[in-house]
Structure 1
Amino acid sequence: MSEISPQKRVEIETVPAKGPRDVPHALIKLIEDDGLKVGDRLPPELALVQRLGIGRSTIRETLKTWESMGVVSRNKGAGTRLTAEISRNTLRVALTIKHEANSLLRMLQVRRPLEMEAVRIACRLATPDQRRLINARAAELMAVYEAGEDWRPADHRFHYAIHDATGNPLFRQFIDQIQKCFHDIYDTPFGKPHLGQESIPLHRPLADAIIAGDEDAAAGLAGTIIDMVCAETQKISEAHEAHDG
């Protein structure tokens, strides 16, 4: 493995990755600039943190995705080594799609039980005014969706109304924090700003179940909505893998 020149090091360090979507690209550029080949070891995680200007957990998640794709092998003693040829002209799109899919699925895995518990509590504790607001937010969401407009802001307001009806501000805070960790990926995953659109019609019966105080029906619908987004995410990832394979 050749040592990177001081001139190249400055160039890499002054162009840090800006978000999760940029990390695979930044790592590929580093590999190319360092001239790394199959069998070569990548710099340690702390060195990658310093050179790319991104968090260690984000780098670790990207390398975990690459390992699942057979691009690198990771060993506590031997470090991380390249096991496949990689360049900006070959694996960039595939790696980005896989990374986004894995990140989004992990976020949804954490969000699912939070949403299911939130609707259960809202069924029990929502005041008459809060139930009316949930109903109004659902009506607004369906009107925007049926008009073919951007339904995401209305969707956020609908879920916020449910979270507020729990009487526990931590539901809204935790879910907001989870989504902020994956901001770029969550807002436009795979370049699709309306991922999960097929689940929107289920929000009307979800609101009805909460208003009626039917905990089991509401929790089941909340879980199904998340599951539909997960299934669509998995389908997109597998389609890209099949295409690239």
Structure 2
Amino acid sequence: MTEQPRGDRRARANAAARSQALQHEIMELIIERGIGPGEPLPTEQELVEELGVGRNTVREALKVLQAVGVVDVRHGYGMFVARKKLDGMRTPLEFHARLSLTRSGQEAMELVDVRQALEAGLIGPAIDAITAEDLAEVLSAVEEMERLASAGLPLVEADERFHGSLYASLDNGLLSNLLGVFWSAYSRLHAQIGPATVDLGETALEHRRIYEAVVAQDAARARELLTSHFDGIRRLIQAVVGESAPA
């Protein structure tokens, strides 16, 4: 392979640094002007004049900001500050968690660690806030998981509904977004691990027990059960990583 000239590498590094600086400037402009989520940004031409850079440079910076969930481009309408979304995290989380299964499994484990910290840490407030409607939805998800387990079918969608309903009454948009991102990554991870490696009946039973602890308003028991549930996922990842490790 022919080595790239050092000058070319420097030029690319400088271009990347300038692009990052411009992205930061655009975000600062949004904050300084008090432009809220869903509200329109200045036009490309206005940004060109305001920031003193070329149109293509502005366009590339906006593409990056759109990818990471800062800017929302609606064709035919203009550019807006994105509403609270973390979609930009989905692809890298999925990719690195799945890739790690062929190596140490570290990123997959980290994904589980963060989910456990969030869910176990917030289960007490969730129990205090949960409504009868959300509790009914949690039970519905448990019953669906039990039916699916009996039929030997994947539980991922019902499992996601269980956890989403459990924390819905907290009305925490950031938490909902994070859980959505984690579930998107976890569903891909689960598909890669393979449903044959999962004890469906035991998984459904774990969720039934969590539901019962919530109904009893036993936060300590619910926290213990959630921790045990995620420990089971860790053991599954460790087993898969062990099988894929080179001899």
- Are the equivalent residues in 2 in contact too, given 1:130–1:161 (CA < 8 A)? yes
Within 5 A, what are the aligned runs for 1:114-133? 114-133=118-137
Per the alignment, in what secondary structure is the counterpart of residue 200 of structure 1?
helix
The 10-residue stretch of structure 1 (232-241 or 106-115) with the greater mean CA deviation from structure 2 = 232-241
Gaps of 5+ in 2: 5-87
- Are the equivalent residues in 1 in contact too, given 2:206–2:229 (CA < 8 A)? yes
Query: 1:173/1:196 Cα in 2 relative to 1: closer, same or farther (>3 Å)?
Result: farther
Look up the match of 1:234.
238
Amino acid at match of 2:221: A
Query: 1:183/1:228 Cα in 2 relative to 1: closer, same or farther (>3 Å)?
Result: closer
Look up the match of 1:149.
153
Look up the match of 1:159.
163
1:172, CA displacement in angstroms?
1.8
Gaps of 5+ in 1: 6-54, 66-93
1:150, CA displacement in angstroms?
2.1
Query: 1:112/1:133 Cα in 2 relative to 1: closer, same or farther (>3 Å)?
Result: same
Query: 1:149/1:193 Cα in 2 relative to 1: closer, same or farther (>3 Å)?
Result: closer
Per the alignment, in what secondary structure is the counterpart of residue 148 of structure 1?
coil
- Are the equivalent residues in 2 in contact too, given 1:137–1:154 (CA < 8 A)? yes
The Cα offsets for residues 78-115 of structure 1, whole Å up to 9 and x where unpaired, read as xxxxxxxxxxxxxxxx986226x232111111111111
Query: 1:109/1:217 Cα in 2 relative to 1: closer, same or farther (>3 Å)?
Result: same
Look up the match of 1:98.
103
1:141, CA displacement in angstroms?
1.5
Between the aligned partners of 2:243 and 2:227, the Cα distance in structure 1 is 24
Q: CA RMSD in A?
A: 3.2
Q: Is residue 112 of structure 2 the alignment partner of residue 108 of structure 1?
A: yes
Look up the match of 1:188.
191
Look up the match of 2:2.
3
Look up the match of 1:44.
none
Amino acid at match of 2:126: A
Amino acid at match of 1:207: Y
Per the alignment, in what secondary structure is the counterpart of residue 97 of structure 1?
coil
Between the aligned partners of 2:100 and 2:177, the Cα distance in structure 1 is 31
Percent of aligned pairs with the same amino acid: 18
Amino acid at match of 1:188: A
- Are the equivalent residues in 1 in contact too, given 2:126–2:167 (CA < 8 A)? yes
1:165, CA displacement in angstroms?
2.8
Q: Is residue 135 of structure 2 the alignment partner of residue 136 of structure 1?
A: no
Q: How many residues align?
A: 157
Q: Return the index of the structure with the highest Cα Rg.
A: 2
1:178, CA displacement in angstroms?
3.4
Amino acid at match of 1:3: T
